[in-house]
Structure 1
Amino acid sequence: MFWAAEAPVVTVDPAQLAQQAVDSMTLLGPEIQIRPRPSGQGVVGMPVWMWTTKSAETYGPNSASASAGGMTVTAIAKVKRIVWNLGDGSSVTCTTAGTRYEKEFGKKDSPDCGTRYKEPSTTMPGGRYHVTATSTWQVDWQVNGGGESGQIPLVRSSEVDVKIAEVQVLN
């Protein structure tokens, strides 16, 4: 048995507590929504709309806390941007979740997250472009009651394949 005149001092690292809070969250890649649908077919030169379903797990905000040694740290995670690698060598960076496509939009471009393919996907493996959407999450953390704070960047990705065809016009 060990006896001490004073209780041992427990040192808690707030950044480590912040990481514990982050580890308790579910932070996923974007829940990809894209028009044309992956089961359908788009056309060269026509608008492609891209967005993610907004939830705590796919876009934020998402929060969690962790405690130890009388200290509590709260972390809040939000997506700052989504980079869409379009499978044709180009990419689009969106700072919003994107706008859900509705039929009444017709052939209009997406107001915040879209593109137009310039070439058909016929030369790609499986005849489809492999699209990767990568979310950059920013986690802001702070010791409750003031004190230290910081940020933790995280990256999560999702993938989908889309078929883009070329329309031939005959005279």
Structure 2
Amino acid sequence: MTETTCVEYTDAACATLLYHPPDTADPVAPTDPAALARHALAVLRLAPPDLRLTPPPDPGDPNTLVNTPTHLWLPVGTTLAPQTSSATDRGLTVAVEARLDHVTLTTDDVPTASTDCTPADLVTGPPASPFDPPACGHVWRTTSADRPGGAFHLTVTYHWGITWTGGGRTGTLTTTTTATYDVAVRERPVTLRPDP
């Protein structure tokens, strides 16, 4: 609503009228704890665990064989401790805690494959034998010789569960981070034996 103020009178009549335009500025909104939690998560920069592959990727030499598993694992004794962060705005502080929920392995061989692994699947240490079935891993059924760069892509997606608290409220969020490996796969070598 436009307000007016008379600043000069003549014979009891208003000679000069001052107009005040309406104040259209929005009032300062209270801080949203959920939005502040998303900000705290954005600056956390989640660090994935020190995941190992057996056999390890080697760009200069094919590093696994057809029908031989590639194992993904974490060193024995690895503790997947939660990662934490916080953010503060206008006196309100929100704390977030992120825990690794599971990982998804995705490959681009044919047919494409997707496998979920729990943290318990990963904390196994190196395989006793490279031919053992992997607790978490993949088996390529064809060579990568005709693939671009001579390798398949293995994408590991880390799924994080996040809880936050602040302003008398709690909530949950989810997010993912990814890592990609190039895995060269060759045919199993054939040993020719001489005729007896």
Any conservation in 2 of the 1:10–1:69 contact (CA below 8 Å)? no
The corresponding residue for 2:46 is: 27
Shift of 1:9: 8.2
Matches within 5 A, 1:57-96: 61-88=82-109, 89-96=112-119
* Unpaired runs of at least 5, structure 2: 1-26
Q: Distance in 2 between matches of 1:136 and 1:106?
A: 27
The corresponding residue for 2:175 is: 154
Any conservation in 2 of the 1:29–1:133 contact (CA below 8 Å)? no
Q: Distance in 2 between matches of 1:133 and 1:64?
A: 24
Which of 131, 138, 146 is equivalent to 2:161? 138
Q: Distance in 1 between matches of 2:182 and 2:55?
A: 10
TM-score, normalised to structure 1's length? 0.77
Q: Distance in 1 between matches of 2:49 and 2:108?
A: 17
Secondary structure in structure 2 of the residue aligned to 1:84: strand
Matches within 5 A, 1:97-136: 98=122, 99-102=124-127, 104-110=128-134, 112-136=135-159
Shift of 1:162: 0.8
Q: Distance in 1 between matches of 2:72 and 2:131?
A: 14
Q: Distance in 2 between matches of 1:22 and 1:125?
A: 36
- Alignment of 1:46 with 2:86, yes or no, is no
Q: 1:75 to 1:55 in 2, by over 3 A?
A: farther
Q: Distance in 2 between matches of 1:52 and 1:132?
A: 16
Q: CA RMSD in A?
A: 2.8
Secondary structure in structure 2 of the residue aligned to 1:37: coil
Secondary structure in structure 1 of the residue aligned to 2:145: coil
Any conservation in 1 of the 2:86–2:96 contact (CA below 8 Å)? yes
Residues paired across the two proteins, number: 158
Shift of 1:28: 4.1
Query: For residue 67 of structure 2, what is the amino acid of its counterpart?
Result: G
* Unpaired runs of at least 5, structure 1: 1-7
Structure number with the bigger relative contact order (C-alpha 8 A, sep ≥ 6) is: 1
Q: Higher Cα Rg: structure 1 or 2? A: 2
